[in-house]
Amino acid sequence: MWVSLVSLLPLLVVAFALPSSDSEHKVKELVVPPRGWSIHGPAPLDHLIKLRIALPQSNFQALEDHLYEISDPYHERYGAHLSKEDIEELVAPRPESVDAVAQWLHSHGIQDEDMGRSPAGDWLTLRIPVALVEKMLDTKYHVWKHAGSGDYLVRTTSYSLPKSLHEHIELIQPTTMFGAFKKLKSTIHSISEADATIQTQNLRPIVDAAGVTVDASCNTTITITCLKEIYNAVGYTPSATVGNSVGITGYLEENANRADLQTFYADQVPAAAAVNSTFKFISVAGGLDSQNSSLAGGEANLDVQFAFGLSFPIASTFYSTAGRPPFIPDIGTPEDTNEPYTDWLDFILSHPSPPLAISTSYGDDEQTVPESFAKRACAGFAQLGARGVSLTVSSGDGGVGDGDPDPATQECITNDGLNRTRFIPGFPASCPFVTAVGGTIHFPEQAVDFSGGGFSDYFARPSYQDAAVKGFLSKLPKGTYSGLFNPNGRAIPDVSAQSDFFRVFIAGTPRSIGGTSASSPTFAGFVALLNDGRFKKGLPSLGFLNPLLYSKAASGFNDITVGSNPGCGTPGFNATKGWDAVTGLGTPNFAKLLALVT
């Protein structure tokens, strides 16, 4: 049974919010402290917070309308992507909002030169001490400690604004966000030793029912060659001169090691090794480019090696976004950091020519991210899609659950104070403007048991999913998992790809890595190849993929009908004919997709 959070407000305000001394203030946002977090002590008044203020975007509905038209392969505007300037005009806040917020900030001694502004002016950023933030937001910050990880956060559970400002400010963070954005959960499932060489002796090639032939070693070791064989891309040669590009986002101080990339290329992409191919590095918000081999990141190396290995010689970029736990009580007042997704979005939206296919292999449980923040970040992803960028995101490694064995967080229990058992969707995979990528294993392919899948509690099911998802739901026995998921929510994943036994080089040594961390960069690599085919015919980039995938391109996928994604003490959902909440539409058949999109 759903209970409105509004019914809990009186109790929570008394328990967690500073009583208001200004009768004109009204609570803007309030949350229940998530399980595992407890107050460690008061926040130091001189602790600096990088406060981000979101002003309502004046015409986001028009932007969304544009996005769906230019992403619909049957619409006359298909592929007519918007410019950076077009986007900024649509999302710029109303002048009255800009003025009202500026006056409020001036009243607290904050001048225009103290603020950073996004290109569209819809985000304001300022670095101010806790004492001032508490006064401005009529609240009280504390240092919170997480029982399982030992991490600390400086947060509040409620903040207020003058009533007259509620229509002019959409949200302010970091305030009520207890998610792991300061320390994103990589969706790598496992890392283990790998053989120095791939064992292929006395193994017959595997031939599936469709006649596709794949080297037998691909059932225990995934390489670039395996992926091209499994997904029907053998012999396709992309160009380096048609203006194409692909990118990888990196967080958690994960470093993509260039020496490891060369070793990987020598092992699997000799043409790239022959020309010493590498990636462009871009630092976001102070992200580092350490090339110390002992600090090589398994996630970053996996992502760049396979996305760039598949797409070579397409121009490649690795973004390193800084982000560490923002507070350590024993060292006083350190530099604060903000949620890395917003730092990266700020940067990439200001960039005149972002990569045209970008993969992210990091995420968090949707319920740990305030809904207001999730929806605003999702709107940023929509802006990129409208500019012709395809975004792929790992669907997660917990099946229908959160995959977290930490007893302090109690897997599959809601964070709303009611402690209900609930399937746990992931964010940003739940954003309808990204392409969520689930996982498969072996050949012939089947769903891998950790493939994240399910239904969002924040985002309604987009129309492009209606037919496919309703078909899936109609096949579920009546009452299956009743109350455990939102059948009207945005469904996850959209597609899938191989996600285990990836042969990755870390500090010069081959490792075997599994997780939907592998499937997202793999899918992005194939998207880059599809863009290559389009550019060679004078067509624009694919941009936001999902309306295409669920319509014209649906026949370009290998339907996965074996496997399931257990979690939360249940068997999870089953892979079945058509779309399912384990593998989505299935895995790509590159040759078929290329014919469909060119």
Catalytic residue among 72, 88, 229, 303: 303
Active site residue 463: no
* pLDDT over 70 at 329, yes or no: no
Check whether 559 is labelled as a binding-site residue: yes
Active site residue 303: yes
- For residue 525, which of 307, 214, 304 has the smallest C-alpha distance? 307
**Cα dist. 63→68, 76, 91, 143, 485 in Å?**
9, 17, 8, 39, 30
Label residue 15 by pLDDT band (50, 70, 90): very low
- Kind of pairing between the strands at 426-427 and 362-365: antiparallel
pTM value? Answer: 0.92
Q: Which of 164-173, 185-194, 286-295 holds the top average pLDDT?
A: 164-173
Residue type, 87: I
- Based on the domain organization, do 192 and 172 belong to the same domain? no
Find the domain containing 12 and state its range.
Answer: 5-57+92-178
Average pLDDT over residues 1-7: 35
Active site residue 299: yes
- Based on the domain organization, do 134 and 256 belong to the same domain? no
Check whether 578 is labelled as a binding-site residue: yes
pLDDT for 419-440, tens place per residue?
Answer: 889 999 999 999 999 999 999 9
Q: Is residue 80 part of a domain?
A: no
C-alpha Rg value of the chain to the nearest Å? 24
Catalytic residue among 134, 138, 299, 457: 299
Average pLDDT over residues 214-239: 96
Q: Is residue 127 part of a domain?
A: yes
> Which burial class, exposed, middle or buried, applies to 192 when counting CB atoms under 10 A from its CB (0-12, 13-18, 19+)?
exposed
- Based on the domain organization, do 512 and 574 belong to the same domain? yes
pLDDT for 465-509, tens place per residue?
Answer: 999 999 999 999 999 999 999 999 999 999 999 999 999 999 999
- Based on the domain organization, do 225 and 162 belong to the same domain? no
Residue type, 4: S
**Residue with more model confidence, 406 or 123:** 123
**Cα dist. 518→269, 369, 587, 590 in Å?**
17, 24, 13, 18
- Based on the domain organization, do 193 and 135 belong to the same domain? no
Q: Is residue 314 part of a domain?
A: yes
Contacts of 115 (CB under 8 A, 6+ apart): 105, 124, 125, 126
Check whether 402 is labelled as a binding-site residue: no
Q: Helix or strand or coil: residue 340? A: helix
CA distance 118 to 88: 9
Check whether 208 is labelled as a binding-site residue: no
Of 124, 157, 178, the domain-final residue: 178
Average pLDDT over residues 552-561: 98
**Residue with more model confidence, 331 or 91:** 91
* Number of domains the chain is built from: 2
- Based on the domain organization, do 111 and 259 belong to the same domain? no
Q: State residue 339's pLDDT score.
A: 61
Q: Is residue 403 part of a domain?
A: yes
Q: Is residue 209 part of a domain?
A: yes
Residue type, 502: F
> What percentage of the chain reaches a pLDDT higher than 90?
73
**Over the range 269-301, which residues count as b (16 or more CB within 10 Å of their CB) and which as e?**
beebbeeebbbebbebbebeeeeeeeebbbbbb
